[in-house]
Amino acid sequence: MGRLDNKIAIVTGAGSGIGRASALLFAQEGARVVCADVSGREAVTTKTIGDAAVAVHVNVARRDDVEMMVAAAVGNFGRLDVLFNNAGFSGPHQSLLDTDDDFFDRLIAVNLKGVFLGMKAAIPVMIKDGGGSIINTASAMALVGRKGLAAYGATKGGVVALTKATALDYATDGIRVNAICPGMTFTGLAGAGDDEEPPADRKLPFPMQRFAHPREVAAAALFLASDEASFITGVSLPVDGGYVAE
């Protein structure tokens, strides 16, 4: 028996990295999954899963795309139980003065507005169906500062604030809203293939001294999506090898 048996889930950013690992794990645990991405690789993830998944090409910064994504879950599977707002990007490390206005606007559009739009489209469906679980990908940079990541950290800090307030708004509707805050993760967006393992001999400057593998972050999302987390809402969970504890 799987931890997400009979649940319908949407995973954004499902074409690579944390999103792909989460879509595969959710399906392994019994969910039917809408794999959403802007890259075109959502189809590859869906093919790997098989009949329990559908692919949708989605730019999470566009309201029409996001509403179509939620409609795809309902149209194909009849309901929506889990939304994992995972899509996002970081870009180069830059000081505030070196950060281009257009780049900042794009970060806000994808990393923060994308979460807002996803929740706004999903929550009415979840209320109608009696509740659900929303997981938003923030970052360890939402909880601490880091040189060169002012713009990125601001968007992810916004995700944490949005998560907490939305959790309070809909707690009595049976909707749980939580965030995960990954640290340095060895993902496709960082230049690694989906099946590559992090380099074991590279020591990183935080307690566990290594990269996370996407499946380790996916495991945290699975827990928050599952009924095992039924009394957890409004939490921002670091999955960071101890980075923010220092």
Q: Which residues are known to be catalytic?
A: 152
Dist CA 234 CA 159 (whole Å): 11
Using the CB atoms, write b or e for 89-117: b if 16+ within 10 Å: ebeeebeeeebeeeebebbbbbbbbbbbb
d(CA 120, CA 22): 22
* Partners of 36 in beta bridges: 12, 56
CA–CA separation, 201 and 34 (whole Å) = 36
3 state SS of 179: strand
Angle at 90 (CA atoms; ends 63, 72), nearest 5 degrees: 30
**Beta strand segments in 32-174, E:** 32-37, 53-57, 82-85, 132-137
